[in-house]
Structure 1
Amino acid sequence: MSAPAPSPSTSAATRIVIAGAGPAAQALVSQLDRARFTGTITVLSNRDDTPEELLELALLPQVSVRFGQPASHIDAVNRTVATADGMEFAYDQLVIATGSAPVASPVEGADACLSYSTIDDAARIGEAVSEVARELGRRPLGILVGNGTAAGQAEAVLRAQGVRPIRTTARPAAVVPGTSASGLAASAVIFEDGSSMNGDLVVLAEERVSRDGLAASAGLRTAPSGGIVITQDFRTSVPGIWALGDAAAFDGVRLGLLVAAASAAGACATQLLTAASADSGAVPLQAAA
Structure 2
Amino acid sequence: MESKIVVIGGGTAGVRLARQLGVHGVDVTVLGEEPHAPYNRLLLAEVLAGRYGPEVIALPEAPVRRGVRATAIDRDLRLVHCADGTSVAYERLVLATGSNPVLPPLRGLAGELPDGVHPFRTLDDCAALSAAVRPGIHAVVVGGGLLGVSAARALAARGARVVLAQQGEHLMERHLDVSASQLLRGHLESLGVEVHTECRVRGLRGTAVELADGYVLDSELVVLACGVRPRIGLAHAAGLEVRRGIVVDDELRTSDPYIYAIGDCAEHDGQVYGLAGPALEQADVLASVLTSGQELTSAPELTSAPELTSAPELISASPRYTGTRALTRLTLTGPGPATAGPLDLAAFGDPTPRPGDDVVQLADATRGAYRKVVVRGDRLVGGVLLGDLAAVGALARAWEGDEALPESVPLLHLLTNDGGL
TM-score (norm 2): 0.45
Question: Could you tell me which residue of structure 2 aligns to residue 100 of structure 1?
Answer: 99
Does the alignment pair 1:42 with 2:59?
A: no
Counterparts of 2:319 and 2:285, CA distance in 1: 11
Question: Could you tell me which residue of structure 2 aligns to residue 68 of structure 1?
Answer: 67
Q: Gaps (5+ residues) in structure 2?
A: 41-54, 119-128, 130-138, 158-162, 186-194, 299-314, 321-421
Does the alignment pair 1:231 with 2:231?
A: no
**C-alpha displacement at 1:257, in angstroms?**
5.5
Question: Could you tell me which residue of structure 1 aligns to residue 229 of structure 2?
Answer: 209
Counterparts of 1:58 and 1:89, CA distance in 2: 24
Letter in 1 for 2:252: F
Identify, as 1 or 2, the structure richer in helix: 1
**C-alpha displacement at 1:69, in angstroms?**
1.6
Does the CA-based 8 Å contact 1:116-1:204 persist in structure 2?
no
From the superposition, tell whether residues 75 and 109 of structure 1 become closer, same or farther in structure 2 (CA, over 3 Å): closer
From the superposition, tell whether residues 170 and 70 of structure 1 become closer, same or farther in structure 2 (CA, over 3 Å): same
From the superposition, tell whether residues 259 and 147 of structure 1 become closer, same or farther in structure 2 (CA, over 3 Å): farther
Letter in 2 for 1:74: I
Does the CA-based 8 Å contact 2:3-2:91 persist in structure 1?
yes
Counterparts of 2:180 and 2:229, CA distance in 1: 26
Q: Gaps (5+ residues) in structure 1?
A: 1-12, 134-141, 175-188, 197-201
SS of residue matched to 1:168? coil
Corresponding residue pairs, total: 241
From the superposition, tell whether residues 78 and 23 of structure 1 become closer, same or farther in structure 2 (CA, over 3 Å): same
From the superposition, tell whether residues 147 and 240 of structure 1 become closer, same or farther in structure 2 (CA, over 3 Å): farther
From the superposition, tell whether residues 58 and 195 of structure 1 become closer, same or farther in structure 2 (CA, over 3 Å): closer
SS of residue matched to 2:242? coil
Counterparts of 1:274 and 1:157, CA distance in 2: 47
Counterparts of 2:181 and 2:264, CA distance in 1: 24
From the superposition, tell whether residues 145 and 161 of structure 1 become closer, same or farther in structure 2 (CA, over 3 Å): closer
Letter in 2 for 1:145: Q
SS of residue matched to 1:95? strand
Higher RCO structure, 1 or 2 (CA under 8 Å, sep 6+)? 1
Question: Could you tell me which residue of structure 1 aligns to residue 260 of structure 2?
Answer: 242
SS of residue matched to 2:72? strand
Counterparts of 1:41 and 1:266, CA distance in 2: 15
Counterparts of 1:90 and 1:14, CA distance in 2: 6
From the superposition, tell whether residues 37 and 171 of structure 1 become closer, same or farther in structure 2 (CA, over 3 Å): farther
Greater Rg over alpha carbons, structure: 2
Question: Could you tell me which residue of structure 2 aligns to residue 80 of structure 1?
Answer: 79
Question: Could you tell me which residue of structure 2 aligns to residue 279 of structure 1?
Answer: 296
Does the alignment pair 1:264 with 2:282?
A: yes
Does the CA-based 8 Å contact 1:145-1:169 persist in structure 2?
yes
Letter in 2 for 1:260: P
Does the CA-based 8 Å contact 2:142-2:166 persist in structure 1?
no
**C-alpha displacement at 1:250, in angstroms?**
3.0
Letter in 2 for 1:75: D
**C-alpha displacement at 1:269, in angstroms?**
2.2
Counterparts of 1:206 and 1:242, CA distance in 2: 28
Counterparts of 1:116 and 1:267, CA distance in 2: 33
Letter in 1 for 2:282: A
**C-alpha displacement at 1:71, in angstroms?**
1.2
Question: Could you tell me which residue of structure 1 aligns to residue 7 of structure 2?
Answer: 18
Does the CA-based 8 Å contact 1:144-1:204 persist in structure 2?
no
Q: Percent identity?
A: 29
Does the CA-based 8 Å contact 1:16-1:40 persist in structure 2?
yes
